[in-house]
Amino acid sequence: MRMGLALVAMMAVSASAAAPASITGRWKTDDGKGIVVMAPCGTKMCGKIERLLIKQPAGGQRDERNPDKAKRTRQVAGLQIYWDLAPNGDGWKGEGYSPEDGRYYTAHLRVKGNKLTMKGCVAVFCRTVTWTRMA
Q: What is the 8-class DSSP label of residue 76? A: S
Question: What local confidence, expressed as pLDDT, does residue 17 receive?
Answer: 53
**Separation of alpha carbons 102 and 87, rounded Å:** 26
pLDDT string in tens for the chain (135-residue length):
454 444 444 444 444 456 899 999 999 999 999 999 999 999 999 999 999 999 999 999 999 999 999 999 999 999 999 999 999 999 999 999 999 999 999 999 999 999 999 999 888 888 999 999 997
How many other β-carbons are positioned within 10 Å of the β-carbon of residue 51? Answer: 13
Question: What local confidence, expressed as pLDDT, does residue 89 receive?
Answer: 95
Domain ranges in the chain are: 21-133
Q: What is the 8-class DSSP label of residue 42? A: T
Helix, coil or strand: residue 13: helix
Helix extents (H) in the chain: 2-17
What fold does the segment set 21-133 form as a domain? Lipocalin (2.40.128)
Backbone angles phi, psi at 78, to 5 degrees: 95, -5
